[in-house]
Amino acid sequence: TIDVSDASPTVRVHPTAEALSRAAAAMFVSLGQRAIEARQRFTVALAGGSTPQRLYALLAEDAWREQLDWSAVEIFFGDERAVAPDHDDSNFRMANDVMLAPLAVPVKRIHRMPAERADLAAAAADYQAELARVFRLDVDAAAPVFDLVLLGLGSDGHTASLFPHTRALGVDDAWVAANDVPQLDTQRLTLTLPVLNRAAMVMFLVTGADKANVLAEVLEGPPDPARLPAQSVQPAAGLVYWFVDEAAAVKLSRPATSCGPTTGS
């Protein structure tokens, strides 16, 4: 059971990335079942990058897919690279190849960020309008409440495409932002903190030794959110779960829940 009054994030350490992915799949399915039972749909923002690929592949396997009514899942994205949707770097393409196409998720339930457009500010505004439509909100209302936001952690402390010291970190009057990322010499679309911090549940997936230092800084270091954007993800009325593998957890000092390979929610 889950205690919403406990503001501190829950950190779960899994022996391997595979065990972590299985536990995350179990929680994804359980959250989805509950949301669909309560509200006839499950609203999710997917993470890009490499870490969630195994989770997505698992969800498309028969044993997992049968547990969720995928026609009732509304799929959004937390961020997108400024490339075409069939590009190797596209977060949509990754999720589509590994999960959405194999699951035959109805196209009308898949809301990809149109980050290939030349005018990214207009693309951000259009994605906000799409969120408003699906969540049945006015575009100037408080941000939508996602049932689940999946996030990763970059070794520089970024999450979604909220990179250190970038403009989108300070956006408090929009749900979606075009973000210049000078450190990568690129641009991205990203959900903003007002959306991430309205989520009912945020699941961070973090694996590998190259994340160990930054994970300890984000979770246990002094607040420095301009340098460590992931520190700013603190939903006011939601829960944050960190799914971490042992390699990424080695620098953590405080006791965390250790989980066996089959532990779910």
Told to check if 91 binds ligand 6PG by CB under 6 A, we report yes
Q: Which is nearer to ligand 6PG, 69 or 217 (CB)?
A: 217
Strands (E) across the chain are located at: 10-14, 42-46, 73-77, 79-81, 148-152, 176-181, 186-191, 201-206, 239-245, 257-258
Q: Which of residues 34-63 bind ligand 6PG (CB under 6 A)?
A: 47-51
In this chain, which of 160, 191, 212, 248 binds ligand 6PG, going by CB under 6 A? 160
Told to check if 164 binds ligand 6PG by CB under 6 A, we report no
Q: Rounded CA gap, 87 and 89, in Å?
A: 5
**Matching residue, tokens 């984000």:** 218
Contact 10, 257 (CB under 8 A): yes
Q: Which stretch binds ligand 6PG (CB under 6 A): 5-13, 17-25, 95-103, 146-154?
A: 146-154
Give the up-direction half-sphere exposure of residue 53: CA atoms within 13 A in the CB hemisphere.
9
Binding track over 200-219 against ligand 6PG, x by CB under 6 A: --------------------
Told to check if 78 binds ligand 6PG by CB under 6 A, we report yes
**Which tokens belong to 83?**
């490339």
Told to check if 179 binds ligand 6PG by CB under 6 A, we report no
- Minimum CB–partner distance for residue 242 and ligand 6PG (Å): 13
Contact 131, 149 (CB under 8 A): no
Q: Residues in the site for ligand 6PG, rule: CB under 6 A?
A: 47-51, 78-79, 81, 91, 152-154, 158-160
